[in-house]
Amino acid sequence: MKKTAKIPYAAIERLALYSRPLKVLLKTGVTVVSSEKLAEYCGVNPAQVRKDLAYFGEFGVRGVGYDVNDLLREIQSILATDREWTLCIIGVGNLGHAIVENDNFREMGYRFVAAFDKDQEKISKRLPCGLLIESVERLRDVVRLRNIQIGVITTPPDEAQRVTDLLVDAGIKGILNFSPTQVKAPKSCVVENVDFAVRFEHLAYHLSKVPLK
């Protein structure tokens, strides 16, 4: 594999996808898996699986397949989920609550160490996970003090850019924005806009092409 081949954006996302069945196989006691099986579990082409993995190294054994445990560790190392990340959430509404309380994220190494809101009713309340909701006015200080790397935005869309600017100003390195607007930040801060309502719209589009009987 050419050393500096450009890695498709989609390949990274598929890597994450591959890790899901690997975890299940590991628990089930299966030790080896082929690109064909893995592809089947994830609904992709086997050559795609092999090529995606080949961007990062040679993890398989010809004629045999991939060692489940090894491959999972390799993928986690590539995706940097083998380490701890410190995060904060801004906007503790229904979605923010769901994300912060999700055990899965903790297991993946995402540790929420702060939660901010601007609603006086919510500030100073404690979440089930133990996290205290703080005023968004404290954001800058708290981000610096607790060395927070990633900010997750779950405010309404009209507040999202303002919150982004606050986060950037506080020196945050990455942002996940769940509000349905594209926020912008300087190159020093990596932004991922996650508008998952588009998936509803995508489904509706497909259903509208299909006779609904």
Ligand X SMILES: NC(=O)c1ccc[n+]([C@@H]2O[C@H](COP(=O)([O-])OP(=O)(O)OC[C@H]3O[C@@H](n4cnc5c(N)ncnc54)[C@H](O)[C@@H]3O)[C@@H](O)[C@H]2O)c1
Partner DNA sequence: CCTACCATGTGCAAAATTTCACAATATTTT
Partner DNA sequence: AAAATATTGTGAAATTTTGCACATGGTAGG
Binding site residues, a second copy, CB under 8 A: 12-13, 15-17, 20-21, 24, 41-43, 78-81, 83, 85, 93-95, 97-98, 101-102, 104-105, 108-110, 149-150, 157, 173-174, 176, 180-182, 184, 190, 192-208, 210, 212-213
Return the number of the residue (8 or 156) whose C-beta is nearest DNA.
8
**Cα–Cα dist 153/138, whole Å:** 16
Binding-site partner at residue 66 among a second copy, DNA, ligand X, none, CB < 5 to 8 Å by type: DNA
Give the nearer residue to a second copy in terms of CB position, either 137 or 165: 165
Can you spell out the DSSP letters for the chain? --TTPPPPHHHHHHHHHHHHHHHHHHHHT--EE-HHHHHHHHTS-HHHHHHHHHTT---EETTTEEEHHHHHHHHHHHTT-SS-EEEEEE--SHHHHHHHH-HHHHHTTEEEEEEEES-TTTTT-B-TTSPBEEEGGGHHHHHHHTT--EEEE-S-HHHHHHHHHHHHHTT-SEEEE-SSS-----TTSEEEE--THHHHHHHHHHHHTS---
Binding segment for ligand X (CB under 6 A), chosen from 80-88, 143-151, 173-181, 203-211, is 173-181
Interacting span for ligand X (CB under 6 A) from 8-16, 35-43, 44-52, 113-121: 113-121
Q: How far is the CB of 106 from ligand X (least distance, A)?
A: 11
Residue 107's binding partner out of a second copy, ligand X, DNA, none, with CB under 5 to 8 Å set by partner kind: none
Distance CA 157, CA 178 (A): 9
Residue 94 labelled as part of a binding site: yes
Instruction: Out of 7, 98, 203, 207, name the contact with ligand X by CB under 6 A.
Output: 98
Binding site for ligand X (CB under 6 A): 90-96, 98-99, 102, 104, 116-119, 122, 136, 154-157, 159, 163, 178-180, 196-197
